[in-house]
Chain A
Amino acid sequence: ETGVTQSPTHLIKTRGQQVTLRCSSQSGHNTVSWYQQALGQGPQFIFQYYREEENGRGNFPPRFSGLQFPNYSSELNVNALELDDSALYLCASSSRQGAGGEKLFFGSGTQLSVL
């Protein structure tokens, strides 16, 4: 059984640039959630994708957008990067939408630094 994989593991961008982060969900999972974890804080929910459609969104501006593909892998896109976007971005997959938390399986994350 393949776990959740994220790429890249580390990324450095400059303010104003755009970035795309990628996530492959665990085998058999059709739902992907994205979280932002700033230094010293807990993960914050960005949004969830279920069967290729956005299924809930946290308090993040529209420049944070995503996609889910037919194979249930997902991308997180961030436009017009700001310094405060520097964080660990975590992807989590589950086997159904709105799953209880124990059904979430997290990847190791992408560490994004915005200079």
Chain B
Amino acid sequence: DQQVKQNSPSLSVQEGRISILNCDYTNSMFDYFLWYKKYPAEGPTFLISISSIKDKNEDGRFTVFLNKSAKHLSLHIVPSQPGDSAVYFCAAILYNNNDMRFGAGTRLTVKP
């Protein structure tokens, strides 16, 4: 039962341009969403999150947008840098629940 889906396995963008990573979910009870970044041979690291009561959260070059009616969230990276090349996981959680559901990930490649 895959409740969090990332339908694009990979994305390639040019340095300096915008990267947009997408995520869809099916469970309307999720009320907290996160993005993690994973480099090879390392564990995932937290990037940015958003509560279901908001529709946007910004942290430097990273912005997450939430569309609850469409059950869709996206991560925007502007401007993209080669060091952003990694696998990005979308995750969803019932707040204060310990079962976090992850998408399958999108591999982002930023070309110099």
A66 to chain B: which residues have CB within 8 Å? none
Q: Is the CB of A101 within 8 A of B89?
A: no
CA gap between A33 and B93 in the complex, in Å: 14
Q: Which residues from chain A sit less than 8 Å from chain B, CB to CB? A: 4, 33, 40-45, 48, 55-56, 58, 90, 92, 97-102, 104-109
For chain B, the count of residues having a C-beta within 8 Å of the partner chain is 27
Q: Which residues from chain B sit less than 8 Å from chain A, CB to CB? A: 4, 6, 9, 32, 34, 36, 41-46, 49, 89, 91, 93, 95-105
A107 to chain B: which residues have CB within 8 Å? 43
A-B contacts, 16 of them at CB < 8 A, read A40-B104, A42-B4, A42-B104, A45-B98, A56-B98, A56-B99, A90-B43, A92-B43, A98-B96, A101-B34, A101-B49, A101-B93, A102-B49, A104-B46, A106-B45, A108-B41
Q: Is the CB of A44 within 8 A of B97?
A: no
CB distance from A44 to the nearest CB of B (A): 7
B97 to chain A: which residues have CB within 8 Å? 56, 98
CB distance from B38 to the nearest CB of A (A): 8
Contact partner, A42, options B32, B42, B46, B105, Cβ 8 Å: B105
Q: Given contacts A41-B104, A42-B4, A42-B102, are A100 and B45 in contact (CB under 8 A)?
A: no
CA gap between A42 and B90 in the complex, in Å: 9
Which chain B residue lies CB-closest to A33?
A: B98
Overall SS of chain B's interface: loop
CB distance from B9 to the nearest CB of A (A): 8
Q: Is the CB of B32 within 8 A of A100?
A: yes
Q: Is the CB of A108 within 8 A of B98?
A: no
Q: Given contacts A90-B43, A107-B43, are A43 and B102 in contact (CB under 8 A)?
A: yes
* Max chain B Cβ within 10 angstroms of own Cβ: one of A40, A90, A102: A102
B89 to chain A: which residues have CB within 8 Å? 42-43
